[in-house]
Amino acid sequence: MYQVGNFVKKLSNKHGRERESLMPILQAIVQKHNYLTDEAMVEVARELDISAAEVYGTASFYTFLDTQVKGKYIIRVCKTITCSMKGKSDIIHILEDMLKIKVGETTSDKQFSLIETNCIGWCHKAPAILINEMPYTELTPEKVSAIIKDYMHK
Amino acid sequence: MENKGLTKVDLIFEKIDSKEVMVKAFKMSSAEIIQSMLDSGLKGRGGAGFPTGLKWKYTAAEKSPEKYIVCNADEGEPGTFKDREILDRASNKVHGGMAIAGKAIGAKKGFVYLRGEYRYLLPKLMIELASFHKMIHEIGFDFSIEYRMGSGAYICGEESALFESIEGKRGEPRNKPPYPTTSGVFEKPTSINNVETLVTAMMIIHHGAQNFIQYGTKDSRGSKVFSVSGDTPTPGIFELELGMTVLQFVNEFGDGDTKAVQVGGASGFCVPRKKFAETIIGFEGVPTGGSMKLFNSSRSMYNVLHNYLDFFTEESCGQCTPCRVGCQQLLKGVEKVKKGEAKSTYLTELVKLADTMKIAAKCGLGQSVGNAFKSIVGNFKEEIIY
């Protein structure tokens, strides 16, 4: 709790304490801690002198500003039409098999979360996924398997 | 209608000396820059197609000490990936276009709103932005650019939702009027332009408006970057002169078995094979922000429609009832018809709902759901029912 407070204070010093600073601050917290805890949102509200409801209301609007527990590596599988046509289901299957979780879940060691997402702008190299901010494209189950093994050993 | 055929063009990714163009722009007056845009006939490349010259003219006419240029890099339309490619390969022209627009309207500050999905580009863009700032300050431009990130909300590509997001709020579209040219980001006069529009503007300054109008047709001047995907042997980014027919496009990019082309993404129109020859890609026919998705005869158009409706149901901001409830009901409706739980005539009711959404929804998202819905249901009714 104390540490969260310090981190939020540091971010507020960097991004400012105006309303427009809210998104950059929340994004920076998610980048470092994968999701927004209640404590973090309350701290942000305190720093920016706005209500915690305003902070939660804003965060909950954006799919990348998660307010639920998420793993260190968030895998977002594109489910929009081209990726869906080009083998998205096979990608989901291999991921579920390897990670032993279903779409929407997080592994018990909090290393991986698996979610589906809308178009990520790689339709010409479908199917595509994002792992945190890195895109991986033209995937096959074999390629996915190799990529995830790499992450497991990070 | 004019038909220009299919011609590849190299304008957006053409290698140029940015500094030379910026020096040229710096010597021009605000009125001269705006006149060049008006003469060029350039229309916005994000999809809506508002004349860029007019947008700049209206913003320039506003008396306000603070004005902004916003570059809309929240590219989220399914099937569109050209802005990512442009930012990756030609960010100097995006930044250059913003500074030129700033000079035209009297803005000293610009924002690039980049979608969260493209965050991996940011480190590279920051390096390029630093050298760009150095270059234009040497020339004498009083202009600076700041990047703001999105966080995974398609609706933030809608201009007023994007402003709300920059201001640190939920990305819910505002009522219009007032339009952005009067009251945009931070309630100041704002010109918001698509990534490609800004690059094209810089190239118009470089080559001159007269050169630009040689390309394209009366209603659709110039060339445009197309994002080609789906059932095609050659997916990718292609810059083509505007004014070709869908048939010419399919002859170039199809796999020999194309049954439909979705022009303009999930919010665009589905063109079936029998209309390929008569449909022109551009503002006189089917407009597009660049998304071109080809479907061959192995694809179920029900699945395509279902995928789009699922997309809109998730991405609707939920603020206005016609869109929030309308998207859900269209999705449930086609599912019912497919399962035989509703009669095929129920589709007529759903079309009426889509028409209502076009009139009653607050922003472009809800208003355009009917485009794909009606063109797919209208042209592929059997596939939806059986």
Are B153 and A63 in contact (CB < 8 Å)?
yes
User: CB neighbours of A43 closer than 8 A, spacing ≥ 6?
Assistant: A4, A5, A8, A9
How far apart CA A81 and CA B307 sit, in angstroms, is 6
> pLDDT by residue (tens digit) across B123-138?
999 999 999 999 999 9
Adjacent-strand bridge partners of B191? B69
Which amino acid, B92? N
User: To the nearest 5 percent, what fractions of chain A are helix, strand and coil?
Assistant: 50, 10, 35
In a domain, B24, yes or no: yes
In a domain, B92, yes or no: yes
In a domain, B371, yes or no: yes
A 10 A CB-CB count for B347 gives 19
In a domain, B159, yes or no: yes
> Is A93 a residue whose pLDDT tops 60?
yes
Q: What is the pLDDT of residue B132?
A: 98
Using CB atoms, which residue from A23, A85, A133 is nearest to B168? A23
Question: What stretches of chain B adopt beta strand conformation (E)?
Answer: 68-73, 109-114, 144-149, 190-194, 223-230, 236-241, 258-263, 269-272, 291-296
The residue segments making up the domain with residue B381 are: 301-385
What is the DSSP code string of A17-75?
SSGGGHHHHHHHHHHHHSS--HHHHHHHHHHHTS-HHHHHHHHTT-TTS--S---SEEE
Interface of B with A in 335-374 (CB under 8 A): none
Instruction: Indicate the residue among B154, B188, B212 that finishes a domain.
Output: B212
Q: What is the mean pLDDT of residues B289-294?
A: 95
How far apart CA B18 and CA B92 sit, in angstroms, is 7
Are B116 and A118 in contact (CB < 8 Å)?
no
Q: What is the mean pLDDT of residues B38-61?
A: 95
Does residue B324 share a domain with residue B207?
Answer: no
Q: What is the pLDDT of residue B2?
A: 54
> pLDDT by residue (tens digit) across B207-220?
999 999 999 998 89
- pLDDT above 70 covers a percentage of chain A that reads 99
CATH (domain of B316): 1.20.1440.230
Closest chain B CA to residue A78: B78
Instruction: Indicate the residue among B184, B212, B240 that finishes a domain.
Output: B212
The answer to whether B269 and B234 are in contact (CB under 8 A) is no
The answer to whether B80 and B226 are in contact (CB under 8 A) is no
Q: What residue spans define the domains of chain A?
A: 2-59, 73-152
Longest dimension (CA), chain B: 69
Q: How far is CA A81 from CA A24, A42, B302, B326, in A?
A: 31, 39, 12, 21
pTM of the model: 0.97
Number of domains, chain B: 2
Q: What is the pLDDT of residue B1?
A: 47
In a domain, B11, yes or no: no
Does residue B177 share a domain with residue B43?
Answer: yes
Instruction: Indicate the residue among B189, B212, B235 that finishes a domain.
Output: B212
Interface of B with A in 9-68 (CB under 8 A): none
Average pLDDT value for chain B: 96
Cα-Cα-Cα-Cα dihedral sign, residues A140, A146, A149, A151: negative
Of how many residues is chain A composed? 154
> Is B326 a residue whose pLDDT tops 70?
yes
Q: Binning pLDDT at 50, 70 and 90, where does residue B373 land?
A: very high
Hey, what are B90's tokens?
A: 């030609």
- pLDDT above 70 covers a percentage of chain B that reads 99
Instruction: Name the helix (H) or strand (E) containing B305.
Output: helix B301-315
How far apart CA B250 and CA B293 sit, in angstroms, is 10
Q: What is the pLDDT of residue B22?
A: 97
Structural fold of domain A73-152: Glutaredoxin (3.40.30)
CATH (domain of B34): 3.40.50.11540
> pLDDT by residue (tens digit) across B103-114?
999 999 999 999
Q: How far is A46 from chain B (nearest CA, A)?
A: 16
Q: How far is CA B379 from CA B2, B241, B260, B263, B279, in A?
A: 25, 28, 10, 14, 14
Does residue B176 share a domain with residue B44?
Answer: yes
Does residue B335 share a domain with residue B188?
Answer: no
Interface of B with A in 181-210 (CB under 8 A): 186
A 10 A CB-CB count for B158 gives 25
Question: Shortest CA distance to B4 belongs to which of B210, B227, B296, B224?
Answer: B224
What is the DSSP code string of B308-340?
HHHHHHHH--S-SHHHHHHHHHHHHHHHHHHHT
> Is B4 a residue whose pLDDT tops 80?
no
